[in-house]
Amino acid sequence: MGVSRLDVFYRRLLLTKLFIQGWGKPEDLKRIFEFRKIIGNREKCKDLVPRDYPVFIEKVEEQTDCKILNGHFISPLEHIVPGILPSESVKARFQFLVPKRWKKYKPVCIHLAGTGDHFFWRRRTLMARPMIKETGMASLLLENPYYIL
């Protein structure tokens, strides 16, 4: 199967806009590689973020099939490797869709946005809500940095 002309055109547009100013300062890259050594050790990694890490709920919406919590938290990376994140990435925004009634087990699926997936609508409507209806599984939708709500 050949490559679509549309795909080729889209990739040219997309790839020319990502990382056009490089990957960052060499000192920051060194700090990231040092941090990689820490998170490579599972025992140390699991203790990096406390179990009671602060999460802020700004709004709760009651729906017929679920509850939608809108909130944010400060990226733990900002505390672990200070100054490494661009300011737009420090505050992580999310929507958490929870079924009206949990079953014995409480599964949660984390949905990360693809490039160009602005806001929560697509993932909430096409993935999270059907998962609640079909399996009773909650969904955590993270917003991409720079796509500020």
Q: CA 49 from chain center: how many Å?
A: 16
79 and 123 belong to one structural domain: yes
What b/e sequence results for 33-70 when a residue is b if at least 16 CB atoms lie within 10 Å of its CB, and e otherwise? Answer: eeeeeeeeeeeeeeeeeeeeeeeeeeeeeeeeebebbb
79 and 34 belong to one structural domain: no
63 and 131 belong to one structural domain: yes
Domain count, the chain: 2
71 and 128 belong to one structural domain: yes
60 and 97 belong to one structural domain: yes
Distance separating alpha carbons of residues 33 and 48, to the nearest angstrom: 16
75 and 139 belong to one structural domain: yes
101 and 135 belong to one structural domain: yes
Range of the domain at 35: 1-48
| Digit-coded pLDDT (tens) for 29-84 | 899 889 998 888 888 888 899 999 999 999 999 999 899 999 999 999 999 999 98
What whole-number percentage of the chain has pLDDT above 90? 45
- Entry field: residues in the chain: 149
CB 71 within 8 A of CB 96: yes
25 and 97 belong to one structural domain: no
56 and 127 belong to one structural domain: yes
Query: Which residues face 67 on adjacent strands?
Result: 62, 98
pTM of the model: 0.76
11 and 79 belong to one structural domain: no
